[in-house]
């Protein structure tokens, strides 16, 4: 197991190239089994969640080859509809496999999905939508068994705009008989990316990015060579790093409107921001002001995946911030670690009240989940003295080359074996 050793207090300066989006790429791996022709995903991020999806596909009998950063999936020999608990337990995105396995084999047996331990994360919305499409579902011994004679297009209304459920329904609907009209869909940019990918395979999906997505089932899907969108959460993480440390950076690859809610909050803090095409420039000069209130919401609201990093930022701003986590129940695991660094934070249920202190100090801290772990790295970059961030496996799930990218921006970061 590795740890990061960070000497805090360096200003950040320079330019950082953003990786392909984790949350766009993971459903594409699942979509690769919708066809028996080769699918190439260009510039896949070197993160362990992507490797885990590749492993799941191999377990199904598909061939997955990495050529540099590009991945080709050839699932012509895929024969299995079962995913072992060892793999689904690693990764929540394995739940997307339900929709694509049903399309391919009319059957799917998967263990209940894992991923970050940030709350209950039920999958009832996925399952009730699949039922409406003609799927029979049995749950036994921690496994879900889904079967159908054929998938039927259906009118589906989601009570909550779940990202994963929206993506799963698209994967089940692309080759279903008839048309699926999904209302109350999630509007995240990654859904638009999935629509683009599926349409490049020959699917007929429209409306992604709005709350009604329509899918006309087609008979066949072909292979595709596709470059996914860039990672708005990774981009947001580097912008917040610079806001905390002071300095000026440019992130390349992400359009400002995809993280408009974050840019709005960073301007409220006192950062100067310009965005043009797919570049965002941020300058942070003097001590920032706390955000009065941040509430996480589905897109285009403030992303829950940037809540922890923003909490870290507010720790050293002037004033007091109220941060409300509406999406996941237990997404404040980073708070006790930030407190070890001198942060003044009080958590009451889903709300964190952050009172800004002038500086945090270095400490030995443990990453408990992916974004919470990133938040601790950011806090350590801005803190006085040296910090050690332990249990990097969570951070490796979603950030490629974190220490190199930070070093290039002028941070003092070393990754060492424990």
Where do contacts with ligand UD1 occur on this chain (CB under 6 A)?
23, 26, 92-93, 119-126, 160, 162-165, 186, 304-305, 327-328
User: What distance, in Å, lies between the first and last C-alpha atoms of the chain?
Assistant: 6
CB of 10 to ligand UD1, least distance (A): 29
Closest-approach residue to ligand UD1 (CB): 164
CB of 18 to ligand UD1, least distance (A): 16
* Contact present, 311 and 334 (Cβ < 8 Å): yes
Tally the residues of the chain.
Answer: 418
* Whole-angstrom distance, CA of residue 198 vs CA of residue 389: 39
For residue 261, the SS3 value is helix
* Whole-angstrom distance, CA of residue 201 vs CA of residue 347: 47
Tokens of residue 61, six digits: 């009998």
CB of 247 to ligand UD1, least distance (A): 27
Q: Distance of alpha carbon 377 from its chain centroid, rounded?
A: 18
Residue number, 328 or 399, with CB nearest to ligand UD1: 328
For residue 250, the SS3 value is strand
CB of 40 to ligand UD1, least distance (A): 21
Burial of 85 (0-12, 13-18, 19+ CB in 10 A): middle
Tokens of residue 234, six digits: 């990774």
CB of 333 to ligand UD1, least distance (A): 14
Q: Can you give the three-state secondary structure of 159-224, one letter per residue?
A: CCCCHHHHHHHHHHHCCCECEEEEECCCCCHHHHHHHHHHHHCCCEEECECECEEEEECCCCCCCE
CB of 158 to ligand UD1, least distance (A): 9
Is 116 labeled as catalytic in the residue annotation?
yes
Among 52, 116, 146, 271, which one carries the catalytic annotation? Answer: 116
Nearest to 133 by CA among 116, 145, 146, 119: 146
- Tell me the catalytic residues: 116
């Amino acid at each position: 197991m590795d740890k990061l050793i960070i000497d805090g207090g360096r200003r950040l300066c320079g330019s950082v190239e953003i990786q392909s989006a984790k949350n766009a790429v993971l459903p594409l791996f699942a979509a690769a089994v919708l066809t028996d022709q080769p699918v190439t995903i260009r510039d896949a991020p070197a993160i362990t969640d992507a490797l885990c999806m590749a492993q799941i596909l191999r377990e199904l009998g598909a061939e997955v080859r990495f050529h540099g950063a590009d991945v080709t999936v050839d699932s012509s020999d895929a024969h299995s509809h079962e995913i072992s608990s060892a793999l689904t337990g690693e990764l929540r995105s394995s739940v997307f496999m339900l929709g694509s396995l049903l399309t391919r084999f009319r059957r799917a047996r998967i263990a209940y999905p894992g991923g970050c331990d940030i709350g209950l994360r039920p999958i009832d919305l996925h399952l009730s939508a699949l039922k409406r499409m003609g799927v029979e579902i049995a749950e036994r011994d921690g496994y879900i068994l889904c079967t159908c004679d054929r998938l039927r297009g259906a009118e589906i209304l989601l009570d909550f705009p779940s990202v994963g459920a929206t993506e799963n329904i698209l994967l089940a609907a692309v080759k279903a008989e008839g048309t699926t009209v999904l209302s109350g869909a999630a509007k995240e940019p990654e859904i638009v990316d999935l629509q683009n990918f599926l349409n490049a395979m020959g699917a007929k999906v429209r409306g992604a990015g709005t709350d009604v997505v329509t899918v006309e089932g087609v008979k066949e899907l072909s292979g595709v060579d596709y470059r996914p969108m860039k990672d708005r959460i990774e981009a947001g993480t580097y912008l917040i790093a610079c806001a905390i440390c002071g300095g000026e950076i440019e992130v390349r690859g992400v359009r400002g409107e995809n993280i408009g809610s974050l840019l709005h909050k960073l301007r409220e803090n006192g950062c100067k921001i310009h965005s043009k095409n797919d570049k965002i420039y941020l300058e942070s000069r003097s001590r920032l002001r706390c955000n009065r209130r941040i509430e996480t919401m589905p897109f285009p609201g403030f992303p829950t995946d940037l809540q922890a990093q923003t909490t870290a930022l507010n720790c050293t701003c002037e004033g007091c911030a109220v941060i409300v986590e509406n999406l996941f129940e237990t997404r404040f695991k980073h708070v006790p670690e930030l407190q070890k660094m001198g942060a003044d934070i009080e958590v009451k249920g889903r709300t964190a009240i952050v009172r800004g202190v002038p500086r945090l100090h270095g400490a030995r801290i443990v990453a408990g989940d992916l974004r919470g772990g990133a938040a601790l790295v950011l806090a350590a970059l801005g803190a006085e003295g040296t910090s050690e961030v332990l249990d990097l496996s969570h951070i490796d799930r979603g950030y490629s080359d974190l220490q190199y990218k930070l070093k290039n921006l002028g941070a003092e970061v070393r990754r060492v074996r424990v």
